[in-house]
């Protein structure tokens, strides 16, 4: 495929980027002892992007032939010329980059290919059937498995020349429990970049199911918390949600240019000395993070970008265009969901670096507070203001974890929360690899980190 793309570019003199993309996605969902839904989708094509007359032109084709690709190049050039007059700030050129050269074959693909559809479907059904037996209070349990297999080849006229492949499986269980007219839900999911063994490395499918069901049942006897500004210990899942939604998006350079809260703050303090925040295309600390990419969609090898170092904002996330505008190197953060999508600046794996404390020490030194675990949903905006729902919250009194609470929300300004961090654990976990991040188009990402003690506004009674 790389040879075909290079052949299509052999007579081009300006900047042209060709991105071949083949994607297969499959999913199963079981409930009430039967398969409720299945889906299989395949997409293959080539995205074409050109830089001409100071602006971008884009086109795509689903026909993998030299004639069709070259025709798409001409369409993209025409689109650039027609739109050039509408662009106030022209793109003078693109910066040099650390281009990927060669083939990058992901781990777990052989394992993924070697397991039959029947085996995967049987697992989903077996786990679902066993789950409902855990308690008579369980009203329903849903179990789902999904996977994405991708191949990409990216070739540009200025030096990118790479091919890569990867697989991303996911497993999730959701449960609803009922008692005395009250309903509560629990869920647990995991998503990785890698094979079957990577997916179930830290927990088996049965253990994931048991955790989701236990959460739903336990919440039936829980209480609402008192509201107000509170000391909290955030689990890696909540830390991941915070750094992704409330901070990560504000430092994507296109959002910075649009006026996010991070604009103009390079070199300024935005967190305590204990806070170092990174975003990496690699899976740091251990393999399998859900947003791992060996090459970004501009053909660049992704860096481990240090966004905040010891509380000081040091970098934004860049594609080639914004890197040129800011006078820095691109970070390998350009990503496109399918061949017909234009690459956007997106996070990959976003995380806080671990510290020197242990979770036990953090709990023992907390006189009055809460331990929060299990990210549910929420929202954040360009100001860094956020509100998240938490699946499980435990009261901490006099250095001991006591009772479970429900209906907990946390809110605040992200940089204020980082400023209040006073303890960071040495334990680390990726915990946001399932599902998708949305920004005009989906993206597979991951986020996580250590346990963190800080202050947030807790929603309750």
- Find out whether 394 and 369 touch, Cβ atoms under 8 Å: no
Label residue 365 by pLDDT band (50, 70, 90). very high
CA 297 to chain centre: 16
pLDDT of residue 270: 97
The rounded percent of the chain whose pLDDT value lies above 90 is 94
Take residue 225 and report the two structure tokens written for it.
């918390």
Write the DSSP symbol of residue 115. S
Question: What are residue 167's phi and psi, to 5 degrees?
Answer: -135, 140
Per the DSSP assignment, residues forming a β-bridge with 460 are: none
pLDDT of residue 447: 97
Mean pLDDT of 429-453: 96
Label residue 88 by pLDDT band (50, 70, 90). confident
Cα 207 from Cα 322, distance rounded (Å): 44
pLDDT of residue 192: 98
Q: How far is CA 386 from CA 51, 245, 372, in A?
A: 37, 8, 16
Give the H or E element holding residue 119.
helix 117-131
Q: Which domains does the chain have, with CATH numbers?
A: 2-219 (3.30.2290.10), 228-459 (no CATH)
pLDDT of residue 290: 97
pLDDT of residue 113: 85
pLDDT of residue 195: 92
pLDDT of residue 412: 94
pTM recorded for the entire structure: 0.96
Label residue 450 by pLDDT band (50, 70, 90). very high
Residue 461 predicted with pLDDT over 80: no
Q: How do residues 12-49 score in pLDDT, each as one tens digit? A: 989 999 999 999 999 999 999 999 999 999 999 999 99
How many C-beta atoms surround the C-beta of residue 306 within 10 A?
16
């Amino acid at each position: 495929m790389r040879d075909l793309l290079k052949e299509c570019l052999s007579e081009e003199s300006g900047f042209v980027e060709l991105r071949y993309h083949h994607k297969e996605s499959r999913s199963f969902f079981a409930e009430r002892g039967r398969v409720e839904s299945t889906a299989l989708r395949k997409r293959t094509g080539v995205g074409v992007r050109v830089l001409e007359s100071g602006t971008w032109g884009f086109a795509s084709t689903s026909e993998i032939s030299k004639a069709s690709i070259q025709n798409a190049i001409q369409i993209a050039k025409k689109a650039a010329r027609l739109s050039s007059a509408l662009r106030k700030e022209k793109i003078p050129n693109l910066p040099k980059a650390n281009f990927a050269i060669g083939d990058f074959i992901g781990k777990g693909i052989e394992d993924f290919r070697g397991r039959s559809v029947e085996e995967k479907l049987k697992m989903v059904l077996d786990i679902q059937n066993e789950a409902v037996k855990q308690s008579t209070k369980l009203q329903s349990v849903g179990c789902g498995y999904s996977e994405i297999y991708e191949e990409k080849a990216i070739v540009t006229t200025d030096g990118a020349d790479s091919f890569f492949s990867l697989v991303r499986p996911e497993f999730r269980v959701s449960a609803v429990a009922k008692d005395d007219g009250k309903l509560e839900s629990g869920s647990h999911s995991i998503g990785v970049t890698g094979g079957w063994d990577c997916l179930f490395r830290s927990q088996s499918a049965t253990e994931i199911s048991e955790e989701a069901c236990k959460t739903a049942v336990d919440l039936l006897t829980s209480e609402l918390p008192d509201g107000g500004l509170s000391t909290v210990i955030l689990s890696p899942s909540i830390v991941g949600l915070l750094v992704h939604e409330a901070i990560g998006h504000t430092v994507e350079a296109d959002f910075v240019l649009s006026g996010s809260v991070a604009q103009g703050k390079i070199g300024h303090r935005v967190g305590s000395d204990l806070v170092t925040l990174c975003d990496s295309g690699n899976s740091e600390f251990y393999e399998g993070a859900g947003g791992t990419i060996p090459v970004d969609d501009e053909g660049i090898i992704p860096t481990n970008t240090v966004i905040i170092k010891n509380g000081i904002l040091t970098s934004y996330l860049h594609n080639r265009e914004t890197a040129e505008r800011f006078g820095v190197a691109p970070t390998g953060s350009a990503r496109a969901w399918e061949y017909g999508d234009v690459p956007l600046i997106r996070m990959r794996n976003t995380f806080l670096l671990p510290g020197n404390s242990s979770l036990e020490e953090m709990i023992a030194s907390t006189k009055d507070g809460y331990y929060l675990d299990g990210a549910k949903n929420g929202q954040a905006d360009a100001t860094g203001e956020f509100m998240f729902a938490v699946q499980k919250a435990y009261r901490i009194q006099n250095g001991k974890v006591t009772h479970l609470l429900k209906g907990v929300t946390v809110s605040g300004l992200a940089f204020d929360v980082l400023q209040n961090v006073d303890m960071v654990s040495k334990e680390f976990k990726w915990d946001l690899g399932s599902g998708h991040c949305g920004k005009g188009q989906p993206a597979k990402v991951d986020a996580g980190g250590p346990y963190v003690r800080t202050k947030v506004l807790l929603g309750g009674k």
